[in-house]
């Protein structure tokens, strides 16, 4: 056991000076790199495809959004809160061109798989939706943001339909009082001898 370090050093020196070992190691590293980046390489080579039909998408990019930004569609049951939804999604997803669509789910899926649209929120009701995306990553937080947005839009539309002015509905009323404890609690510890 005392000579383990000497033997390990000798064997590693032989492996690292062996040209076959170095060649195989470099080849495996390069092969792994090619396999890892193959999907990105193939996605970049599809740029010479014809542009798909965009006749049903409203073509008004928001000011401040780059024209080459990815497209996010909002579709489905959006007739009641169309403007509120568009404004909320546009402000929350500033890196996207948020567009309203009247396409069917099949047409939206086709646009997503063709690469014309990156993702879509199809509203089933004012508080529920179906999120469509071609490649869902593990760190995709768009659904969490959309949940909060839909909750806010639903509350805003309820306040507006209740007769509240839009300025009042948009400004939250924050109470400046400190929270008070309802009762004071005292903790006592009792120790009993174990027999």
The tally of domains found in the chain comes to 2
Report how far apart, in Å, the C-alpha atoms of 133 and of each of 68, 98, 188, 192 are: 18, 14, 56, 62
Judge whether 143 lies within some domain: yes
Judge whether 177 lies within some domain: no
Q: What is the pTM of this model?
A: 0.51
How many C-beta neighbours within 10 Å does residue 66 have? 9
Judge whether 96 lies within some domain: yes
Based on the domain organization, do 21 and 76 belong to the same domain? no
- H-state helical runs in the chain: 4-17, 19-44, 82-92, 105-114, 142-161, 166-170
Judge whether 147 lies within some domain: yes
Domain interval for residue 98: 71-165
| Segment-wise mean pLDDT, segments of 10 residues, the chain, 195 residues | 87 86 91 86 61 48 62 80 81 87 89 88 83 79 83 79 68 46 48 51
Judge whether 190 lies within some domain: no
Give the domain CATH number at 80.
3.40.190.10
pLDDT at 176: 41
Based on the domain organization, do 34 and 79 belong to the same domain? no
Based on the domain organization, do 84 and 119 belong to the same domain? yes
């Amino acid at each position: 056991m005392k000579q383990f370090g000497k033997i390990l050093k000798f064997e590693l020196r032989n492996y690292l000076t062996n040209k076959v070992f170095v060649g195989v190691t470099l080849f495996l590293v390069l092969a792994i790199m090619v396999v890892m980046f193959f999907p990105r390489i193939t996605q970049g080579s599809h740029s010479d495809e014809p542009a798909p039909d965009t006749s049903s998408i409203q073509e008004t990019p928001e000011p401040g959004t780059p024209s080459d930004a990815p497209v996010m569609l909002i579709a489905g049951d959006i007739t009641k809160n169309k403007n509120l939804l568009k404004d909320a999604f546009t402000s929350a997803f500033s890196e996207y061109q948020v567009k309203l669509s009247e396409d069917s789910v099949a047409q939206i899926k086709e646009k997503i798989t063709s690469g014309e649209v990156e993702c879509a929120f199809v509203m089933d009701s004012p508080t529920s939706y179906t999120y469509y995306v071609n490649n869902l990553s593990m760190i995709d937080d768009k659904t969490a943001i959309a949940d909060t947005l839909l909750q806010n839009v639903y509350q805003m539309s309820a306040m507006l339909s209740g007769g509240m002015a839009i300025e009042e509905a948009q400004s939250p009323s924050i109470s400046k009082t400190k929270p008070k404890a309802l009762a004071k609690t005292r903790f006592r510890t009792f120790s009993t001898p174990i027999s």
